[in-house]
Amino acid sequence: MDAGAWRRQYVHDLLFPVDGSGWHEPEMKESIGYRWSGPGRFSVLRVAAPAGAGRGEARLLVLPGEALPDIALFLNGHRLAVAQRRQGLLGVLDFAWDAACMAQEPRAEFWFHPERLAQLPVPGGRMRAVGFRLSSLTLVGASDGPTPAGDALALIIGRRVLFERLPVATGRPRCALRSDGATAVLDIQLDAARLGPTAQPQLALSLRAGGPGVDVAIGPPGAVALVAHVPPTGAMVLPDALALRDALLVARLLATLPDAFGRWLDEAMAGAAPDAALLAQWRRDLARVARAAEAALAAALAEGADALAIDPAPPFAWPASG
């Protein structure tokens, strides 16, 4: 009997450890496990998800007499339309996403932004801020599974080469969002970063989004910054003021910016009520920067440098000023 095509389902239970921020410790009520969101109005959950388009359900514990909470939901910076329904003690948020939300994203980064918070007592006479009780998240891809493994060997070898020949680390990110007229500006300081074998005590990045594409400036504080333009689609141009190996390292670093931004969110948004739409816009712009940097890196390795021949030992060198 032909069982037909099947689709892989990803189920994430909030009783287990989570990757993200803005969640209290797991609890159990009415035989349903959950975590309260809080203490701020911004909760992040990073999970494995199917590639491409898909749909999902977020299941919330909602006790009798409680109204379904009003929650804004974002996936990798894209606002999702949410439909609510009740199912016994569960409130179910149904949502779907298109392929653009997961374009070249290694994982799904969900942001939950509830409209209201409540103060509830905890043992010891203290109070804590909570939003809603999330029990589980279920994600299903739109395409039939399983994922083909034909390119698995090349993928594994490619990643190993990148980590061995072009290692980078962003260190600790600190971000500041501002505006310059009609231009949105994101300033990022990376503390204890690394480019190849060379430690970078501080790196300063400034991203400007005011027209088509994003302009990126990067360099140590006080030095002349390298400037690159990231087009709306396609690859960026690698900085020609650097040696090829060093230009590839800068591209690798730019490709990690969404992850660095996420780590900053985990630290900076604790207990906060931020402008979720502004953060979402920058999350999408950083994804564009990462995709353009990865495309430039891929083109340079495919058409020029032999990745296996790159010597990872020489120190990274910024261009001399003046």
Residue 262 clears pLDDT 90, i.e. is over it: yes
CA Rg, the chain, in Å? 22
The whole-angstrom separation of Cα 184 and Cα 208 is: 6
Q: What is the pLDDT of residue 1?
A: 40
Q: b/e string for 236-262 if b means 16 or more Cβ within 10 A?
A: bebbeebeebbbbbbbbbbbbbbbbbb
Mean pLDDT of 173-199: 96
Q: Which residues contact 309 (CB under 8 A, 6 or more apart)?
A: none
d(CA 40, CA 63): 22
Q: What is the pLDDT of residues 140-149, one digit of tens each?
A: 998 765 555 5
Give how far Cα 140 sits from Cα of 149, 201, 214, Å: 19, 42, 33
Is the pLDDT confidence value at 55 over 70?
Answer: yes
The candidate with the shortest Cα–Cα distance to 255, out of 212, 298, 304, is 298
Q: Is the pTM of this model over 0.85?
A: yes
Q: Of 83, 134, 73, 82, which is closest to residue 108 (Cα–Cα)?
A: 73
Asked if the model's pLDDT at residue 160 lies above 90, the reply is no
Residue 15 corresponds to which tokens in the numbers above? 């009783």
C-alpha dihedral sign at 261, 185, 237, 245: negative
**The pair of three-digit structure tokens given for residue 124, joined into one six-digit string:** 């010891």
Helix (H) and strand (E) counts in the chain:
4, 20
Span 96-128, pLDDT tens digits: 999 999 988 989 999 999 999 999 988 777 899
Mean pLDDT value of segment 282-304: 92
The string of DSSP codes covering 56-116 is EEEEEE--TTPPPP-EEEEETTEEE-EEEEEETTEEEEEEEE-GGGGTT-SSEEEEEEES-
Q: What is the mean pLDDT of residues 171-197?
A: 96
Lowest mean pLDDT among 128-142, 145-159, 220-234: 145-159
CA distance 210 to 181: 9
Question: Domain boundaries in the chain?
Answer: 9-141, 169-309
Give the residue-averaged pLDDT of 221-245: 89
Where residue 305 falls among pLDDT bands split at 50, 70, 90? Answer: confident
Tens-place pLDDT, residues 207-231 = 999 888 999 999 999 888 999 999 9
What integer best gives the mean pLDDT of the chain?
A: 91
What is the CATH topology of the domain spanning 9-141? Jelly Rolls (2.60.120)
Say what the pLDDT of residue 8 is: 82
Structural contact between residues 42 and 132, judged by C-beta atoms closer than 8 angstroms: no
Go through 36-52 and write b for each residue having 16 or more CB atoms within 10 A of its CB, e for each that does not.
bbbbbbbbbbbbebbbe
End-to-end CA distance of the chain: 74
DSSP characters for 4-53?
--B--EEEEETTS--EEESEEEEEEETTEEEEEE-SSS-EEEEE---SSS
Q: Is the per-residue pLDDT at 44 higher than 70? A: yes
Above 90 in pLDDT, residue 314?
A: yes
Taking a C-beta distance cutoff of 8 angstroms, is the pair 229, 215 a contact?
A: yes
DSSP code of residue 307:
G
The reported pLDDT for the residue numbered 143 is 74
CA dist 280 to 41, 83, 247, 275, Å?
Answer: 15, 20, 28, 9
pLDDT at 249: 96
Residue-level length of the chain: 322
Written as six digits, the tokens of 3 are 């069982």
